[in-house]
């Protein structure tokens, strides 16, 4: 018996996998495989057909054919045994038996065919033996890998011990060194300790007990206590400079192209430190923050709008903590207000003044605390600060997506980012028109539309992009993020008054509207 080729082809004669066991040109084997579907009759029970030169021994496998091309002098019974073994072996590697899976596992199938047929003759092997030969399991290889892993682990342990010894020697040397640079470090630490010990001592006694009562109402997102900035310039030292290699830069650029946010290490300097840490000279800071939750329907209309607001107070020193906050508010009938349990509710309801029930007690110092909260829920579409309309349409095997925004004149929106989900695509979408900037996050398959500021000059805008044909629902839900310096609740801080003498106190204030969740579904 001489097997010329073992192949897997489609019903139309397309060769998916073919292994030749004699010298044969590509044109020759492609011609033989293309001729086979024309020779197979419909409804016939035979499993072989013959021509003047070759014999085809075949077996249907769902939408495919498993085919042996032999010469006419071969033993057809042995050909049938070989075909039967191959038909049991193919599903072991390709259970689904479709064209895509066959092409993906082509090399594994060829290796398995070679274990069954050698130089055109069948080998006396079983399916289990073929799988074992293909996997090439080796006891010597496993032992070699274990020895290498053991050596690597031993090297890592030695490296850790050496690193601990070096660190220990460095610490001991630092303790014995009386140089100016080392001796200056404790003084720097003492300045930090003294600065923070003053703050901690100012929170003792009654102030400390007051703080425990306010802990449940704290909102640390609005303010952070000001930190002290101590900049020290160390003398520059010469020597070898270590920089990023070209391969590292290329790797970072490839990650950025895939949509990853890369934060590169930058050596801190005096100017960067001063800009990074906000320093406030105001003894009292008051923050008003609202969190917005909006759900818009993709076919138009508002499903839900909810606003949750909070007023926070930060007092730096205890001597400035005996205060009351005068609030100015207009008609806010749609809002439900709640004060902190330690706040005098009658004083607020009658005079719009936020103060402790016991005027002789100070507010807690050093940490932000919530003194007033409010909530509002509405179904009025006119209150939506930013409306989004998305219109996907199919044309010529592509999806054309037109998306537009329309902003309310009541707000100036900052750092607007509209996240549009896309179907799984390989190429960057084609953006035909955009008001603002855009970025494609290939890893998450999201198109980001960025508008730095929306004010009276650009209350409306649009973007059009094209992607391969997809379901219109795959472009939803659209997620929106932005901030604003104005809140829904018309609430302002008029003044801060000392309870002891009635004098006004200097204070700083911050108002912000942030998005908690904003979607078009």
Q: What is the pLDDT of residues 357-410, one digit of tens each?
A: 888 888 988 888 899 999 999 988 889 999 999 999 988 889 999 999 999 998
Q: What is the pLDDT of residue 484?
A: 94
Is 463 a residue whose pLDDT tops 80?
Answer: yes
- At 334, the pLDDT band (50, 70, 90 cuts) reads confident
Structure pTM? 0.49
pLDDT bracket for residue 335 (50, 70, 90)? confident
Residue 30 has pLDDT above 50, yes or no: yes
Residue 458 CA to residue 451 CA, distance in Å, equals 10
Sketch the domain layout of the chain as residue ranges: 3-135, 281-520
CATH topology of domain 3-135: Beta-Lactamase (3.30.450)
Do 290 and 484 meet the contact criterion of CB atoms below 8 Å apart? no
pLDDT, residue 256, reads 62
97: Cβ–Cβ under 8 A, 6 or more apart, which residues? Answer: 61, 62, 63, 64, 90, 91
Give every strand in the sheet of 460-468, ordered side by side: 386-395, 398-407, 460-468, 430-434
What CATH superfamily is the domain 281-520? Mu homology domain, subdomain B (2.60.40.1170)
Angstrom distance (rounded) from CA 248 to CA 252: 6
In this predicted structure, the answer to whether residue 209 has a pLDDT above a threshold of 60 is: no
| pLDDT for residue 499 | 86
Find tokens 């001729």 and name the residue.
35
In angstroms, the Cα distances linking 334 to 47, 365, 379 are 82, 33, 12
Closest C-alpha among 75, 45, 61, 54 to residue 8: 61
The residue ranking higher by pLDDT, 99 or 416, is: 416
191, 199, 177, 6: which is closest to 86 by C-alpha? 6
What is the reported pLDDT for 252?
65
Lowest average pLDDT, out of 191-195, 287-291, 348-352, 416-420, goes to 191-195
Evaluate if residue 40 carries a pLDDT over 60. Answer: yes
Is residue 304 predicted with pLDDT exceeding 70?
yes
Quote the DSSP letter at residue 60.
Answer: E
Distance CA 375, CA 474 (A): 34
- Choice between 16 and 241, residue whose per-residue pLDDT is larger: 16
Does the pLDDT of residue 261 top 60, yes or no?
A: no
Q: Specify the residue for token string 């309801």.
A: 349
Residues 6+ apart with CB under 8 A from 7: 15, 16, 17, 18, 19, 29, 33, 66, 67, 68, 69
The answer to whether the CB of 226 falls within 8 A of the CB of 279 is: yes
Rounded Cα distance, 389 and 297, in Å: 9
Q: Name beta bridge partners: 378.
A: 305
Q: Residue 232: is its pLDDT beyond 70? A: no
> Higher pLDDT residue, 141 or 460?
460
């Amino acid at each position: 018996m001489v097997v010329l080729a073992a192949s897997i082809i489609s019903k139309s004669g397309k060769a998916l996998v073919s292994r030749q066991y004699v010298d044969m040109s590509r044109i020759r084997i492609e011609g033989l495989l293309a001729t086979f579907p024309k020779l197979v009759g419909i409804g016939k029970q035979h499993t072989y057909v013959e021509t003047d030169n070759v014999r085809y021994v075949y077996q249907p496998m769902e939408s495919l054919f498993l085919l042996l091309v032999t010469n006419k002098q071969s033993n057809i019974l042995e050909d049938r045994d070989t075909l039967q073994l191959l038909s049991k072996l193919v599903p072991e590697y390709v259970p689904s038996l479709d064209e895509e899976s066959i092409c993906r596992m082509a090399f594994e199938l060829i290796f398995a065919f070679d274990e069954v047929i050698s130089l055109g003759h069948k080998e006396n092997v079983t399916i289990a033996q073929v799988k074992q030969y293909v996997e090439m399991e080796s006891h010597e290889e496993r032992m070699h890998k274990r020895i290498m892993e053991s050596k690597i682990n031993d090297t890592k342990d030695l490296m850790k011990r050496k690193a601990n010894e070096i660190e220990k020697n460095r610490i001991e040397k630092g303790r014995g060194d009386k140089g100016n640079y080392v001796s200056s470090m404790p003084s720097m630490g003492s300045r930090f300790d003294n600065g923070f010990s003053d703050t901690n001592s100012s929170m003792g006694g009654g102030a400390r007990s007051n703080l425990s009562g306010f802990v449940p109402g704290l909102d640390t997102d609005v303010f952070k206590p000001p930190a002290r900035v101590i900049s020290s310039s160390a003398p520059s030292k010469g020597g070898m400079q270590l920089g990023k290699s070209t391969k590292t830069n290329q790797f970072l650029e490839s990650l950025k192209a895939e949509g990853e946010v890369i934060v590169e290490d930058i050596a801190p300097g005096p100017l960067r430190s001063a800009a990074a840490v906000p320093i406030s000279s105001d003894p009292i800071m008051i923050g008003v923050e609202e969190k917005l939750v909006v759900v818009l329907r993709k076919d138009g209309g508002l499903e839900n709008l909810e606003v949750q607001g909070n007023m926070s107070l930060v007092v730096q020193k205890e001597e400035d903590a005996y205060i009351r906050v005068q609030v100015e508010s207009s008609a806010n009938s749609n809002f439900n207000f709640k004060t902190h349990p330690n706040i005098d509710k009658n004083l607020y309801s009658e005079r719009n003044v936020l103060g402790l029930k016991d005027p002789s007690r100070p507010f807690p110092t050093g940490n932000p605390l919530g003194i007033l909260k409010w909530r509002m829920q509405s179904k009025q579409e006119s209150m939506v600060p930013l409306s989004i309309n998305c219109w996907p349409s199919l044309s010529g095997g592509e999806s054309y997506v037109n998306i537009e925004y329309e902003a309310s004149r009541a707000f100036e929106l900052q750092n607007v980012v509209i996240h549009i989900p896309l179907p799984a695509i390989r190429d960057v979408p084609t953006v035909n028109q955009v008001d603002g900037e855009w970025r494609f996050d290939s890893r998450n398959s999201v198109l980001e539309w960025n508008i730095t500021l929306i004010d009276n000059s650009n209350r409306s805008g649009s973007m059009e992009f094209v992607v391969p044909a997809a379901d219109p629902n795959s472009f939803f839900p659209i997620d929106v993020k932005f901030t604003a310096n104005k809140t829904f609740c018309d609430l302002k801080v008029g003044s801060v008054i000392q309870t002891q003498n009635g004098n006004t106190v200097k204070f700083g204030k911050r108002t912000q509207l942030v998005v908690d969740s904003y979607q078009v579904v």
